[in-house]
Amino acid sequence: MFVETQKTLKLFKRESKLGICHTVRRNNVIYVLKCDTCGDTFKKPKSKVDPERVEKAPKHFCDKCDL
């Protein structure tokens, strides 16, 4: 079952060709899902989940139950 979405912000520094240090931001969206078999909550990145499957899929399974 779909629970919520979380947004994370990762900051890291990178050096340009001219030697100037820049702070780079990366935004990630993570889906929080609840397993319909065992009831555990788990997280998956948005890039790894089919967009139509998130809200319309009848069941979600965690890695332990998806054998």
Domain boundary assignment for the chain: 2-56
pTM reported for the whole predicted model: 0.69
pLDDT tens digits, residue range 10-62?
999 999 999 999 999 999 999 898 888 888 888 989 888 887 777 776 677 77
Partners of residue 12 on adjacent β-strands: 24
Backbone Cα Rg of the chain: 17
17's tokens: 């060709």
Sheet hosting strand 41-45, strand order edge to edge: 2-15, 21-34, 41-45
pLDDT at 61: 73
Which stretches does DSSP call E strand in the chain?
Answer: 2-15, 21-34, 41-45
pLDDT exceeds cutoff 90 at 67: no
pLDDT at 50: 80
Confidence of residue 66 (pLDDT cuts 50, 70, 90): low
- Residues 28 and 10: their CA atoms lie apart, in Å, by 8
